[in-house]
Each structure stands twice: as structure tokens, then as C-alpha cells.
Structure 1
């Protein structure tokens, strides 16, 4: 029997990364694998026990939730407790049929997990949900300039630049953590295989990925039902779904909507929510909504707007909207563009350009255009849905190649 040890910072859904890790664990268990879910932070999602998944949860706080800033800083760089517990978990597992799969480490597990993984001799794979393996702030993005960062990670210019969303001392702490990850833990070299989610990711990381790493492609699962084409695709609003933070482009959407003469609708919460409401009183901020409510809102929307200013790793929301039969307007500089066939299932616009986005919004105010795109989006998604079953089949194929020692189609 195949054993898979899935490692994540959290044992419950608190964002897209954890959701994929948990969904993958549940899907693999349903497919007959023995799954061990290893996490630093609780609470533990009750679905894990119900599915017969063994769980090792350390009950720790992540970096931001830790009331002791000193302990958070120390443990964020080197979580010795997590390393010891992971080593104890791995040492009893069968070497010939076990895979270690890391979905996240930067919020709690820390670079320290590299040592017990290497000591175990087990093949390990990393899913690139973000860019913390190679960029100090995890996004190749300058939060102070609100622009994609072109600096070489960990170069002198990188160390000297305050690009963090918080403050420069926090940026320096992140640089120190990545230095430890690269030169003490050798975290990136721990993984024989790296799962990428988009073509853009591969372009962004082409100079960073460790030589010899096998690059794999696995589709993240989308939670959706085949509801049929929309009865009235011309109704509804232009909708944003996601975290309300500067890099997600919420201000850009609100400004473009004002220029286009429409009222933007936002589902989500985040640090700029109050500022956004004050600056754009015509905007409707609905706050956080449960996943089922968010999907229903996407189904009822005229179009989803995905105006992200940074690269993203994929942009699952665009794929969810497509499953609902809702066209997406997407920035051409982010990976979510790969879920949209420009002019067919949605539209691309020039990233960061409010006038270009406003023009595209006006274009999709045409009922005939939006009706055609809606039908095409729905049909295109359900011709090859990003289901959990597909995700599991693709990840099992990766595991099989890892156990057989097979190289990728693009060995580095």
C-alpha cells in the first residue's frame, strides 16, 4: 500500500493552500492510500479522522498568531519541535512505498523540516502554492511599490530593498529565514520533484529552481457541480472574490468600475476593506462568505474580475467561475490568465491599467457578448473538469514516477 505523508502548516482550511492539502489527503485516502497528515497548527479538520487519515498535529501557533513575537521569530526560522516530530513520524515508514509531500512550511513548520526528510531517505515533493522557497516575501512582489519585483532574490539589492507589506525589519527577518533555508537546511534541494501549477510559474522560477529537480504539473481540485448553462447569463454584477489586499488589485477594480459606470461587488475581507469602502462608496462589500455562498454568487454574477497585480501561482477562483458558466476578466500578468481563453471564455486586460480594465468591463456589458462567453466558459470547463478525481489521478502518477526514479519531461 502506498503511504503518503502530507505536510502543511495548518490542519484546517484557512486558505487555498491548506484547502488543497486537505482535499488531496481526503482524495488519496478514498483512492486507497494510507495518508498521514502532519501539521504544526490546529484545530484538526474533523473530515480527516472520518476518512481514516492518521493525523499528527503539534498544536502550535503560526507566526502571526503566536502571542510571543520573540518565540514567533525564533520558531519561524527553525521549528525544532516540528523537525523532531516529523523525524519520529517518518522513521517507522516503509522506504519502498512512501512519499513525503510538502504543501507549506513558511507559516509554522519552518525550514527545519528539511533535515528529517533527508535523513529518512524518502522521496519528497513540494507543491509550489507560493514562492517562499525562492523569494523572501513569497511573491516576487514589491508591496511598497505595488509592482512585480524584478530583483534577483537574496542579492545585495534584495537585502537593501524594503519590499515587505509590513516593515523593513520584518523583511530582513524573512531574508534571514530564506538564507537559513538555502544554506543551512538546503530546503529546496530536499525535493526530488516540484509540482508547478501554471506555465507562468515556470517562467518566473526558471533561474531559481534547483538543477536536477523534476518539474511536474498537477491541477488543483475545484469544488463545483455541473449546473448546466446559465438560464440568464446577462444578469448579475461584476464581482471580485478573494482577499482584500493591495496586491490582489481590489483598488484597481474599484477605480475601473467607477470609470466604466458600474458598481463593483466584493466578496472577501482583508487589510484594505475599510479604506476601500471609504474611497469607493459606490462599491458593495459583502465581506467573507462561506464557500457555497461564494460559488452561488459567482454563478449569479455577470462576470468575475480577477485584477491581481502580482504573478499568482494559478488563480483557482477564475477556474471556479468558469465552472459556474461565468466569464472572467483577468489581468494578463498573472497566472489566472491560463484559465481564460481571451475573447472566448473571458477577456484579458493589460495588468495594472485601470483604463484597460474599464474598457473591458464596458465590452462585457454587451448582452450578446456575455451570453456567448458564458456558454463557452461552461462548456470548456466541463469538457475537462478540474475535479478531485483528476487531481488524485495526476498526483498518483507523479508519486509513481518518483518511486520509479523517473525524470521529468523537462529535467533541469
Structure 2
């Protein structure tokens, strides 16, 4: 088949782009024809080396835009991207092509919906976050530091300042979401939606059309199998962005109450504040994936205290694959990977005392070793490998393409392959 991947970035700038590009490389390795269409470059050189055609518009995202006003217009309705996408989709043979949208909110905008609908090609969407249903993409009130349970685009939503930066930016996102709902009509367009956690489906299902078909496809985890840790367990470890929504301050406070040293791998807007308030904390900064996994294999436990939903936090699965127990907030999707009391602990989200109690329990070496071995055994009994991801993904593609072919046969549309321009 020809898999046409649509994403904001042609390079890895986070988990969303990593999954999109890694799956592109994996699909190409299995002999499928793959095209990556993206707004923001430069393109990952591995794509061309793998024979993947890359269409990169070399546009801005919010981090590179010199004019915030011009970027706001682009983010609401990126006409140039929509026109370029329409041209590319017109080249495709509907009998063999499927369009997989991974991301649009950071650069491409909802305008891609017009091009997708006009093409009548089989398409689907992976919900890495919540932008398809929530204006700020996270169901999270940043100023209040809590999960938002309001109905998106309701009066209560519109009057709530939930943006990480400002209420005017929230209003710009509201305008974008109105375009998404009423002009591009993306929720109606994406009849097939891939989710990456049970929590995610529970949250979004009531907000999408009744006919939406959900497909669970776990993200791949890049950890090589190795024996569980030998020797005494080490520190309690936090890995990720050091921010309020990730729960970093809760870990620092819980560690103090448990009289243990917290170790942070990463950086973020709260790092300087926590360094000043908790001088006992060890701040290691960012490490490469191999360095992170080496730290995980020696850690007593990974602490994942996120206070928002998350999607499918890869860090949790990486720790379990390394044979490291996980203490996880009960509000986030990471708890789905952890057997409470067996491979780690759940704790009440936002409660440093509840977290501190589990930190104390895992100070016992025997408990930490037992849970670490259980975590290792359970993960490797059904690992989230790239092959498992690709097997499931191609199965979903085949389902979506069969449905699209049936729809075309009923309407008589595209009964014969269209002429396709040479790549």
C-alpha cells in the first residue's frame, strides 16, 4: 500500500513526531511506499535514505515564527498547506493509498480537512493529544494546575482562562477550534481514530460523532531486552519536562517528606525554582535515550507524578522494560501500564503525602527488587516493540481501506484507479 503520513514536523521534536517518523521508517522497511507531508523542516535525513518521499513546506511553528500575528493566522487556517496537500493527494491512487494524520495543530492547521475531504481517500487520525476535541489540546487548566472537566466550546469553556500563556491565546485557539468543527469538520471526517490509551478513548468518545470507530494502537517502545538489575537499587528517578503539569513539584515535596533524595532527569520552567527550594534534589539535566535507560536500570523506581491525562507516557513503559518499578499518579494514562502493588504503585494525584508513603515502602530493597523483577517479566511477556506496532497499524489500515473501497463501489466514485503522476 501507499501510506501518506501527514504531520506538523518532518523531524523529531517530541514523542508525537517520533512515533510518526519511526512508523514511516518501519513501514518503508516492510516494503510499503511511504510519503511524509509536513509543514516544518528540516526533514530527518533517515527518511530520504529509506526511500521515503518527503514533502516539506518549510513553514514556521510557534518556536520559529518571527511574527506571532502571522503565525496565529497560519495556526487558525493554513491556506498554503491546504493547497499543497490537495495537490499531493490528487497524485494518489485511491485503490492503494491511505492518508494517516498524526498532527496538525502546531503548524498545518485544520485547513487540511478541506483537502482531505475533497480527495475522498481513505484516511484516519492518531490522537496523540486532544486537539481534535479540546481547544488547548490537553483538558488541563494551566493557571489553576488541574484537569478540566468542562465541555469543550461550551460557555464555561469559553470563559475559562486555561492557556499556559494568556487568555488572548486561548481565544485564538477557540477560533481555530471553531474552524476545526464548523469549516474543516475534522471530527466528522475522521471516522477512524487511533487511540493510545483506554483513558484517552473514555475522555474523547462522548465528544466525537456516534459513528466514530476507535482502534487501539500502542506506541512502540525502543528498549533492548536485558536481564533485570543486579545489585542494590539506586535512587528514585523523575524523567521528563520539569513542569507543574508533569508533577515535578509534587515529587520534590514528597521526597522531602519521605527523607529521600529526588533525582531529576530533564529540564523545564520549574527547574530553577525547584533547585532553589529543594537543594537536596539532584538535577541531571537532559540525557540521551541510552543515558536515560542506563539511569532507569539502576533506579529504585521511576516516579511519574503527572497531574494531567497524558496520552500514553512512553517513559513509564521504558522503565518497566528496564525492570524498574513505577510509582504513578492515578489521574494519568500511565497507570494503565502499572499493576498496583505488583509492578509499582498508584497514588492519589496531586497528593505529596500519598506519594511519600509509597516512596517509604520502596526504600525496602527486597520490595524494590521484587517489583522490579515483576515489572520486567510482565513487560517482556508482551513487549511494545516496533514490529508489534506495525502489525497492528497495518491491520487498521487494511480495515479502513476496505471500508473506503466499499463506499466508493456504492457511489460509483473512483471505480478505476486515477492517473497518477510519477513521483
Q: TM-score, normalised by structure 2?
A: 0.94
Residue-by-residue CA offset, 1:289-339 (whole Å, 9 max, x unaligned)? 112211111112110000000011121110000110011000011100011
**Corresponding residue for 1:157?**
156
| Aligned equivalents of 1:166, 1:219: Cα separation in 2 | 31
Query: 1:3-402, aligned counterparts within 5 Å?
Result: 3-232=2-231, 234-402=232-400
Report the more deviating stretch, 235-244 or 353-362. 235-244
| Aligned equivalents of 1:14, 1:258: Cα separation in 2 | 33
| Aligned equivalents of 2:13, 2:294: Cα separation in 1 | 20
Residue-by-residue CA offset, 1:106-145 (whole Å, 9 max, x unaligned)? 1001000111111111111111100011111111111111
Which 5+ residue runs of structure 1 have no aligned equivalent? Answer: 407-412
Residue-by-residue CA offset, 1:178-222 (whole Å, 9 max, x unaligned)? 111101111122212100111111111131122211100001000
| Aligned equivalents of 1:384, 1:195: Cα separation in 2 | 20
SS state of the match for residue 24, structure 1? helix
| Aligned equivalents of 2:292, 2:395: Cα separation in 1 | 32
| Aligned equivalents of 1:31, 1:191: Cα separation in 2 | 26
| Aligned equivalents of 2:189, 2:62: Cα separation in 1 | 23
Report the more deviating stretch, 98-107 or 278-287. 278-287
1:349 Cα deviation after fit = 0.6
SS state of the match for residue 36, structure 1? strand
Structure ID, larger Rg: 2
Q: Is the 8 A contact 1:243 1:270 kept in 2?
A: yes
1:245 Cα deviation after fit = 1.6
SS state of the match for residue 150, structure 1? coil
| Aligned equivalents of 1:150, 1:279: Cα separation in 2 | 32
| Aligned equivalents of 1:314, 1:83: Cα separation in 2 | 29
**Corresponding residue for 2:420?**
none
Q: Is the 8 A contact 1:123 1:192 kept in 2?
A: no
Residue-by-residue CA offset, 1:223-269 (whole Å, 9 max, x unaligned)? 0101112112x321111111112100000011001101111111111
| Aligned equivalents of 1:275, 1:174: Cα separation in 2 | 29
1:288 Cα deviation after fit = 1.4
Report the more deviating stretch, 320-329 or 278-287. 278-287
SS state of the match for residue 205, structure 1? helix
Q: Is the 8 A contact 2:228 2:297 kept in 1?
A: no
Q: Is the 8 A contact 2:265 2:287 kept in 1?
A: yes
1:403 equivalent among 379, 401, 404: 401
Q: Is the 8 A contact 1:64 1:72 kept in 2?
A: no
Q: TM-score, normalised by structure 1?
A: 0.96
| Aligned equivalents of 1:215, 1:76: Cα separation in 2 | 27
CA RMSD, aligned part only? 1.0
1:359 Cα deviation after fit = 0.3
Provide the aligned length of Structure 1 versus Structure 2: 404
Report the more deviating stretch, 274-283 or 3-12. 274-283
Structure 1 segments of 4+ aligned residues over 4 angstroms from their partners = none
Q: Is the 8 A contact 1:218 1:394 kept in 2?
A: yes
SS state of the match for residue 338, structure 1? helix
Q: Is the 8 A contact 2:233 2:368 kept in 1?
A: no
Residue-by-residue CA offset, 1:342-367 (whole Å, 9 max, x unaligned)? 11111111111110000011111111
